[in-house]
């Protein structure tokens, strides 16, 4: 089975539309790990809480949201609903959780995707690519790792 990362890297050879990702994760170790996974591929902003994420929406203008299910001040669905109310549109959202039961709640709330923790870089980047293509009709803004 071929590795997905070279395929993603190949997308970087041509100009891509800009897509900004807002990552909301309270755990410091996971924030760092996700940042490392995304660093060579996406333009992204990281926040620790749902409130911090909501405050940055107007200034940062993210195109996608990747958020944890369990935040210190709200759960992932509360954040998704707050983002939808704040922006007046549905920003594509991927919820991540170590609780498989959260997946059904996410689908019922029409969240674009769910990823079960732990995940690896290829799984995360592949899922974000699928969500971006489905939501925007084109490839994500991936940065070349060169």
Tens-of-pLDDT digits for all 146 residues of the chain? 334 343 444 333 222 236 899 999 999 999 999 999 999 888 999 999 999 999 999 899 999 999 999 999 999 999 999 998 988 777 899 999 999 999 999 988 889 999 999 999 999 999 999 999 898 886 555 554 44
For residue 127, the SS3 value is helix
Q: Where are the domains of the chain?
A: 16-136
CA distances from 18 to 32, 47, 67, 113, 142 (A): 23, 20, 20, 20, 9
Residue 97 structure tokens: 């959780």
CA distance 19 to 142: 8
CATH for 16-136 is 3.40.50.2300
């Amino acid at each position: 089975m071929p590795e997905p990362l070279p395929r993603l890297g190949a997308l970087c050879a041509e100009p891509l539309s800009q897509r900004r990702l807002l990552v909301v994760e309270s755990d410091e170790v996971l924030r760092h790990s996700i940042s490392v996974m995304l660093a060579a591929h996406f333009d992204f902003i990281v926040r620790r809480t749902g409130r911090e994420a909501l405050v940055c929406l107007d200034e940062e203008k993210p195109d996608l949201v990747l958020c944890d299910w369990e935040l210190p001040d709200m759960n992932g669905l509360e954040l998704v609903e707050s983002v939808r109310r704040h922006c007046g549109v549905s920003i594509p959202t991927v919820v991540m959780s170590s609780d498989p039961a959260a997946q059904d709640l996410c689908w019922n709330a029409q969240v674009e995707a769910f990823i079960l923790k732990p995940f690896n870089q290829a799984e995360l980047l592949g899922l974000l690519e699928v969500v971006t293509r489905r939501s925007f009709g084109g490839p994500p803004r991936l940065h070349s790792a060169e």
